[in-house]
Amino acid sequence: MLGTWNGVNRYDGTSFQKVGFEQPLGGTDVRSIIADADGNIWVAKGGGVMRYDGKSCKIFKREDGLIHNDIAALLEDSKWNIWFGAPLMTRRGAGVSRYDGEKFQNFTVDDGLASNAVTTIFEDSKGDIWFGTYGGGGSRYDGKRFENLTIHDGLPANQLMAITEDSSGNLWFGILGGGACRWDGKEKQGLVEVADDGTLFLAEIGNASWELQDRLLRFLDSGEFRRVGDNKLRKADVRIIILHPDLSARTQTFRLQA
């Protein structure tokens, strides 16, 4: 089956034939199409999503629990859940839905998703679900929480349009306006993580922005931090030494127990 701007077409090895079973959804533009493990065909269009079992169609829309009627990405994961991403090419997206065969569960930026504009969905060999977004980079969902990958982690741009995995376990990202890049899964650590269980020297902190100073004070108080572009709260045990121009008179030492 092929989804096109002219509806669903079947290829029999010789020629294409327009099927037309998606017509109850209205329109002709098919955004995404997949076949699930039971042989059902799922079709996403601007008016909702349709499941075709070979005989009849069932339509899912927002009133059924779907995150939005404008769906651009579909995926069946290894646990037989169907994922829906909405919408394509707009920063005002809606987020994603997961359907377990009985009910929908929706996820948005409030749950940690990098952006509500989801362009593609992919499951890696570890069973983690990846979401490419328009404007927010990528999100990885391990079944409990989201972790995000953005330009701060090395992406050429935050418009992530395609994801795949090679035989070595590397992930490849197709970037709108940024070509393609490969990610080996190794997480980058900031200064605080590198200095964990050690000492971090900071010079001329008085010249830093008020925002940075505020973050530092909160870290000094709790020992907790987040990586840039990540929502996961982490802890570190760091001895911080703040250096002033007159080192002999104004050096201050803080010890964090986290």
99 and 202 both lie in a single domain: no
138 and 223 both lie in a single domain: no
Last residue of a domain, one of 165, 183, 201: 183
Residue 198 pLDDT greater than 60, yes or no? yes
Which tens digit of pLDDT belongs to each residue from 59-75? 999 999 999 988 989 99
132 and 179 both lie in a single domain: yes
Mean pLDDT of 202-215: 68
Which tens digit of pLDDT belongs to each residue from 107-142? 999 999 999 999 999 999 999 999 999 989 999 999
**Model pTM?**
0.69
224 and 176 both lie in a single domain: no
Domain with 241, as residue range(s), is: 191-255
195 and 92 both lie in a single domain: no
Last residue of a domain, one of 140, 158, 183: 183
Which tens digit of pLDDT belongs to each residue from 210-223? 766 777 788 888 88
Mean pLDDT of 183-187: 75
Q: How many domains does the chain have?
A: 2
140 and 237 both lie in a single domain: no
DSSP conformation letters of 161-188: EEEEE-TTS-EEEEETTTEEEEE-SPPP
**Structure confidence at residue 155 (pLDDT):** 83
Residues 6+ apart with CB under 8 A from 64: 104
Residue pair 212/190 in contact by the 8 Å Cβ criterion: no
164 and 243 both lie in a single domain: no
170 and 218 both lie in a single domain: no
DSSP symbol at 54: S
Residues 6+ apart with CB under 8 A from 176: 134, 157, 159, 160, 161
3-state percent helix, strand, coil for the chain, nearest multiple of 5: 15, 40, 45
224 and 251 both lie in a single domain: yes
Higher local confidence (pLDDT), 235 or 245: 235
DSSP symbol at 56: -
Last residue of a domain, one of 132, 155, 183: 183
Distance separating alpha carbons of residues 136 and 95, to the nearest angstrom: 12
- CATH code of the domain in which 83 resides: 2.130.10.10
